[in-house]
A = this chain, B = another copy of it.
């Protein structure tokens, strides 16, 4: 008999599979905050500050050895939520105990339960938005999108992709081989989808749910148990997620320990120990390249998916809509203070300037125009903080300050903006620097946060060559070309195919390279050092399960 949660969500799952086949614009989760209720935001804010700061977060997990926590909102207030700290071995043991029944339930039931978890997460989007805002520094509007519908979309996309792959495996087949006048050979064959093992998901400090839901739901849907290890600066959004998943699993008749939270602190990290445990068979990670590379090199017992980013490039050759281009670039550099692995960092422009319909804009003018576009976007502090949010990490702040100090050629300084509501928040406008083309040590290194380099080259061909080198060697998630010349666009497309980086062509208006849409945009490819997998292609889900067969004479 079909599981009731599968019955409830069967149509949704069908639509989601259709969406990944057609890759158009589709989402079951409303992204207009009005849909969630006119008073929801204010009520949510009050509820959030009543419920969480200085509270003990309840999770009935096994192996509790103490409590930990201590998140600090980038907007100022100490959250100081305390979470149960559990022994990783206890969580792994409980996860293994929980898996056989989850495996036997089959793909439909698992997909249905996952869809139900996502529906309940969606209903809690406002709460997740506040939790995300006050751990990542995102503005509320961005946090709502990022932790709410956009993250839920990525989760459902992973479920749909996993479900489709599992449904390719027949449950049973009668194999009948004709043999002329002799009776046919007949076998009764059964096929079972079995999980790879316990999955470990590392979420990052700047997009904790968005960056982790693909891995969590891909593993869970394919039968694996999932241990979520959040960044110690951004535990709460995942704690809410895990609590809700556990509650849903229990109501669905499964063991809550299929999803658990592993909390540590920056002072006593557990990540490396846990990542090497033989029972951890899948790892999903989003975060800095150093630990991502360490995982790829050392967690040999596991299938490892990382998203580490690198150096995202823009090549400016010509612009049919010069003002539109500047506005688009200015916004993309400012959004969430560049604290996105998809934010552009290095802008190449040829020494002869930027061709526009009526003239050619010299490089220095282009620099000034871009600085002005950033300035005009961020002129009004109330609007500016909605775009910029706050700087999440003191390390990012220190990086901006260090670059501004020792770096000579400042195109636009990182201004400090006072946040109208949160005076303690560190808010900075993007730092724009001009960097010499021959010094890749500057523009070819990732500088996470609101920093961009403008690099003057001899020709657009050189711009493309340097961008390709940076993307190939350092990796990239996004690549932009602005040109009215079909040959140049073609060269950029070729470089995009060779390096495996998504290419945005002449992007103006209200779509930005650092945002990607579930069901339509592949996030990363796996083809360059920025990431070892793609959200969400079939390679991201297929290795999470095995097919085991039995047969007998029929």
Contact = CB atoms under 8 A, between A and B. Distances in A.
A493 to B, nearest CB: 6
A265 to B, nearest CB: 32
Given A21-B170, A192-B497, A543-B543, A548 B525 contact: yes
A545 B522 CA distance: 13
Contacts of A534: 546-547
Contacts of A20: 168
B520 A547 contact: no
Interface stretch (A117-125, A211-219, A337-345, A505-513): A505-513
A508 B551 CA distance: 12
A261 interface: no
Contact of A549 (B502, B551, B553): B502
Contact of A503 (B297, B504, B525, B549): B549
A361 interface: no
B550 A543 contact: no
A538 interface: yes
A274 interface: no
A548 B527 contact: yes
Contact of A173 (B23, B510, B551): B23
Interface size class of A (residues with CB under 8 A): 35 or more
A22 interface: yes
A355 interface: no
Interface in A493-539: 493, 496-497, 500-511, 517, 520-522, 525-527, 534, 537-539
Given A508-B553, A525-B547, A23 B185 contact: no
A174 interface: yes
Interface string A164-205: 110011100111110000000101010110101000000000
Contacts of A440: none
A103 interface: yes
Most buried by B among A525, A542, A547: A547
A446 to B, nearest CB: 21
B176 A24 contact: yes
Contacts of A496: 548, 550
Contact of A520 (B165, B173, B504): B173
Contacts of A196: 527
Nearest to A170: B23
A7 interface: no
B22 A173 contact: yes
Given A22-B173, A194-B497, A521 B550 contact: no
A552 interface: yes
A510 B184 CA distance: 10
Contact of A191 (B168, B173, B189, B522): B522
A548 B521 CA distance: 10
A522 B173 CA distance: 12
Given A194-B527, A504-B550, A525-B548, 16 more contacts: A22-B170, A23-B170, A23-B189, A24-B173, A25-B177, A164-B168, A168-B538, A187-B511, A189-B521, A191-B522, A500-B546, A511-B553, A521-B551, A526-B546, A537-B542, A537-B547
17 contacts: A21-B168, A21-B170, A24-B174, A24-B176, A185-B510, A194-B497, A194-B527, A501-B548, A503-B551, A504-B550, A505-B552, A506-B553, A507-B551, A507-B553, A534-B546, A539-B543, A542-B543
Interface of A: 20-25, 103, 164-165, 168-170, 173-177, 185, 187, 189, 191-192, 194, 196, 297, 300, 493, 496-497, 500-511, 517, 520-522, 525-527, 534, 537-539, 542-543, 545-553
Among all A-B residue pairs, the 3 with the closest Cβ atoms: A505-B552, A539-B542, A503-B550
